Structure formats: C-alpha cells, structure tokens
Amino acid sequence: MTAFDLTRIRLRDGERFSHATAARLYGLPLPWGLDDRIHVTSPPGVAPSRHRGCRGHHDDGTGIRLIDGLPVSTPEQTFIELGRLLPTDALVAVGDHLVHVPRFPEAGRPWTTIERLAAACTERRAGVVRARAALGSVRQGVESPMETALRLLLVGAGLPEPVCGYELRDGDRRIGWFDLAWPQQRVLGEYDGDQHRTSAEQYEKDIRRFDDAAEIDWRVVRVRKSGMRRAERATTVARFRRALAAA
C-alpha cells in the first residue's frame, strides 16, 4: 500500500484512511494475510464509503493526522481500530512500534506514547476492549515484532518481565544494545533476524558484542526464527529458564 495508490480514492470532507490502511501508512507491523482492502472512515452524518476495493467505516469524528498529505486516523485511534482486526499479541507489536524511540532519528517517530494510548483507550467507550488488554503489555525499547513475540512468549510462560532495548556497559565502555535483559541475573536475550544471514558486517559486530558480554559474565541466549515455531517454543522457554536459574 502506497500513498500513490491512495490518491486514486476521492475522499469526502471529514473522511480519512483508517484501520489497516492507516497502519500501513505509519509503517506498522501487520500479520501476513490481513485484509488488504482500503479502509475509509466517514464522519457523523456521512454514509460509509462504497468505493470499489474499499471497506467503509463510520465513527464519531475522531481527530485526523496528515501523512504525506493524506488524512489518516491518529496513531492512537489507529491502535484502537486495529483492535477490531488483530489478535492481542499482534496488537501489542503494533503498540510497541508506535511508542518506540529509534536510536537513530526517523521522521515522525515515536508516533505516540504509552500515556497517550492509555488516554485514548480511556476516552473511547466502544470497540476498545482488545486495545485496553493489549496496552498493558506495550513496552518501550522494542525494535521488531519478533522481539515482541519472544518477550510475550517468555512472560506468558511465567518468566520474569525483561527490560527491553537494554544498553549494556562496562564502566565507560558501551558493549552494545540487547533486545531483552534481566540485569539482576545478568542474562541477555537476542532474537537473531535475517540481517545476520544477509550482512556479514552485522554478523561480525554481533559476534563481538556477544563475546564482550560474556567476558564480563553476562550470558546471552540467542533465538532464531525456528525457535519461535510452535513445536520449538517450549524448548526456547526452557533455555531461558535454565539461564535465569543458573544465575
């Protein structure tokens, strides 16, 4: 979905792109196979859109934000709207992305804060049950939906809540950033994504980072995509459980 595609849709006064369409404009992580129709929300007194290839919605006139000149649901409203389309874990990943502050500046980000998401969920009465449930698990410092999935897997299995996006230092020396950390137990968790397969430079940097952490007695538990498959999740949890128990 691109802004160019959307310019072909003629919106009426007060209408906006919403739900999954707004999410794509914000660059939010969405599950594969989600309805790819264009979502348009109309204000009070205006019949829902009937454009071909569109899914029309109607609400109470929530505020609008411009993205590339296009009227879009606000980040907070998009989070609530996606609560009607996504399972809770996927919605947590969306929330993590919305509130993340990139280490290197990116235009528009962070899109919102946990506090503003909470305020929106409090103000709205309809359609917010799943958004409220997901909000309790939204955290700062998460860089990818797989990091979210790993954290939710571990916490759901009864392991202690980790720190997300942890900066490990040895005195004045920065060793690096890690996806998950249990500082008291000196345990770190890393989800190894495809960048380790496609970038030799990134792979070398990570190996040095892991070695440096080990030299100051931190244990790093690394998880690949295979470790998140349903058949391997119990093994992944057991690896972290052993690491935390050993500490």
Same domain, yes or no, for 19 and 124? yes
Same domain, yes or no, for 197 and 216? yes
Q: Which residue has the higher pLDDT, 193 or 42?
A: 42
Is the residue at 108 inside a domain? yes
**How many angstroms separate the Cα of 167 from the Cα of each of 78, 154, 163, 173, 183?**
30, 20, 10, 11, 10
Considering only CA atoms, give the Rg of the chain.
20
Q: Are 145 and 151 in contact (CB under 8 A)?
A: no
- Among 135, 169, 195, where does a domain finish? 135
| First-to-last C-alpha distance (Å) of the chain | 47
DSSP state of 193: -
pLDDT of residue 123 exceeding 60: yes
Is the residue at 55 inside a domain? yes
- Among 135, 153, 169, where does a domain finish? 135
Same domain, yes or no, for 169 and 120? no
Q: Are 48 and 57 in contact (CB under 8 A)?
A: yes
pTM given for the model: 0.93
DSSP state of 5: H
Same domain, yes or no, for 72 and 177? no
Give me the phi and psi of 102, to 5 degrees please: -60, 145
The pLDDT assigned to 197 comes to 63
Strand ranges for the chain from DSSP E: 16-17, 38-42, 54-58, 64-67, 70-73, 163-170, 173-182, 187-191, 219-223
* Predicted confidence (pLDDT) per residue in 81-119, tens digit: 999 999 999 999 999 999 999 999 999 999 999 999 999
pLDDT of residue 1 exceeding 50: no
Same domain, yes or no, for 69 and 158? no
What interhelical angle do 145-156 and 233-246 show, nearest 10?
70
**CATH code of the domain in which 182 resides:** 3.40.960.10
| Structure-block tokens of residue 16 | 């906006």
Same domain, yes or no, for 101 and 164? no
Quickly state the pLDDT bin for 196 (edges 50, 70, 90): low
Give me the phi and psi of 222, to 5 degrees please: -105, 140
Is the residue at 229 inside a domain? yes
pLDDT of residue 224 exceeding 90: yes
Q: Which residue has the higher pLDDT, 125 or 91?
A: 91
The pLDDT assigned to 33 comes to 86
Q: How many CB atoms lie within 10 A of CB 99?
A: 23
Same domain, yes or no, for 20 and 128? yes
Domain that holds residue 220: 145-246
pLDDT of residue 51 exceeding 90: no
- Looking at the chain, the whole-number percentage of residues with pLDDT higher than 70 is 96
**How many angstroms separate the Cα of 26 from the Cα of each of 119, 197, 236?**
20, 27, 32
Q: Are strands 173-182 and 163-170 parallel, antiparallel or unpaired?
A: antiparallel
Total of domains in the chain: 2
Of 27-31, 50-54, 109-113, 177-181, the range with the lowest mean pLDDT is 50-54
Q: Which of 122, 86, 95, 115 is nearest to 26 (CA)?
A: 95
Is the residue at 162 inside a domain? yes
Is the residue at 102 inside a domain? yes
Same domain, yes or no, for 106 and 198? no
Quickly state the pLDDT bin for 176 (edges 50, 70, 90): very high
Give me the phi and psi of 28, to 5 degrees please: -80, 150
Is the residue at 107 inside a domain? yes
Same domain, yes or no, for 10 and 127? yes
Mean pLDDT of 63-68: 91
Same domain, yes or no, for 39 and 129? yes
Same domain, yes or no, for 105 and 156? no
Is the residue at 140 inside a domain? no
Q: Are 9 and 38 in contact (CB under 8 A)?
A: yes
- Among 110, 135, 160, where does a domain finish? 135
Mean pLDDT of the chain: 92
The pLDDT assigned to 61 comes to 63
Quickly state the pLDDT bin for 44 (edges 50, 70, 90): confident
Same domain, yes or no, for 10 and 52? yes
